[in-house]
Chains A and B, each alone.
Chain A
Amino acid sequence: MSDRSDDARLPGQTLLKLARRLCSERAYERIATPIVADLQSEWKDAIRAGRRARALWVRLAGPLRFWQAMALHAARPGGSAPAELLSGAAALRTLLVATLAPCAVLTLLIWLAGRPWSLPVEGPPLAALARLAALGLPPIVLVTLPMGVLWGTWWAGQRLRTDAASSTIVALALLVGIMALPLSLWLVPRSNQAWRQAAFGLVTGSSGTVPPGDREMTFSELDHALDARSPGLPDARSDGLRVERHKRLAIPVACLPIALLGLACSRSSLLRSLPWLILLSPLVVMAYYKLQGAGEAAAELGHVSAGLAIWLPNLLVGGVAAALWVGSPAREPQSG
């Protein structure tokens, strides 16, 4: 007989409680409890042997295996997961791969094109060069994100059986955008500034501080800089700061209209093929950035407001996506 207080200390109790609520009686008995029993036995063995790191690993990895098994059980033929969810789950896997792969490839290509190893200095220390090269990565990752999302949603959309599962794809693209926000608001400007400082030190040998430009300010620093300027007085510097502030938000948010465009293209009988994806996706992303660049220049000259200039490409992409979606036939669920 097991002691209740001892049982309460064992890992997996919460998993069991959740499984009791969520699963069928059979899944609870045949999937959930055997996995938790294994988890507890492994944990007890590790504790008995004084292997604390192993015990911690068992605690961390056990729940992952538990949910993997529960998902597989639900997804089996005749399982409790609805077909829509399964169709969405397959598409999500594709989306992740198809988003990350072009991001990684593009990041590497752009990074190599910048030739981070060729600084105009004699015999620079390798560690300093490596640091410089690493600091150059975050802005490139951010810039390649829309391309990755377009590829991912376009590709994943082709694997959807019905339109209903599209919402899971959009939700994931939105999540990618939300996760990119800290990158855009904080990490990229910090990394830009650190890169400038490191390059300055490497080239001049000086340890002086390089003042940050607009692109090297975090979102809150941009806010403070704008607050410090005379309110209501239009000037080019304030416009530049406003443009930069809108850009920080616009690129992560662009994941949403770009995801909608990718899904709409995948639904169109004309555009859904791979050659179109290869041909059109760089054009779409380049057009997006060109338009944003043109808007930025116009806003800094005071011709249009900074908000309109920076958000217009997002609105246009969203509009094209909506038009394509409406103009393409709905996916028919396949019988059998």
Chain B
Amino acid sequence: MGRAQGPWPKLPSRKEALILELLADGRDRYGLELVAASGGRLKRGTVYVTLDRMEEKGYVQSRLDASAGTPGLPRRLYRPTAQGRRLLDALSLARQSLVGAVAR
């Protein structure tokens, strides 16, 4: 599952890249916060499925919000892993190179 084929690593999907970008500020966020911050590019019904897939791939890690003292379930907060950060850096670099190459 999720194994790289050939010499190239499998690239994250557009949604996965967007989530990594939104989590890049270092603050832990829960799903609805990501949906609100995405400006309509992430949907409420799909965000946790994407986050679960990203956690399986090792791009993000999650924990339950220990600070919640009110009744109800605690929210699950997400942050990028070191691998996720490296992937985001690599994507940014690749994007810059691509833009530079096209503009030349």
Chain A positions near chain B (C-beta within 8 angstroms): 1-3, 6-7, 10, 12, 16, 26-27, 30-31, 33-38, 40-42, 44, 64-65, 68-69, 72-73, 76-78
Contacts and interface: CB of A to CB of B under 8 A. Distances in A.
A76 B55 CA distance: 14
B40 to A, nearest CB: 15
A12 B72 CA distance: 10
12 contacts: A1-B69, A6-B72, A30-B51, A30-B76, A31-B48, A31-B49, A33-B73, A38-B44, A44-B70, A44-B71, A68-B45, A69-B45
Interface in B16-74: 30-32, 44-46, 48-49, 51-53, 55, 62, 69-74
Given A1-B69, A69-B49, 13 more contacts: A6-B71, A6-B72, A10-B72, A26-B52, A30-B55, A35-B48, A36-B73, A44-B70, A64-B45, A65-B45, A69-B48, A72-B46, A76-B53
Given A65-B44, A65-B45, A37 B52 contact: no
Interface residues of B, number: 22
A112 B53 CA distance: 50
Interface of B: 1, 30-32, 44-46, 48-49, 51-53, 55, 62, 69-76
B72 A40 contact: yes
Q: Is the interface of A mostly helix, strand, loop or mixed?
A: helix
Given A3-B71, A37-B75, A30 B62 contact: yes
Contacts of A2: 70-72
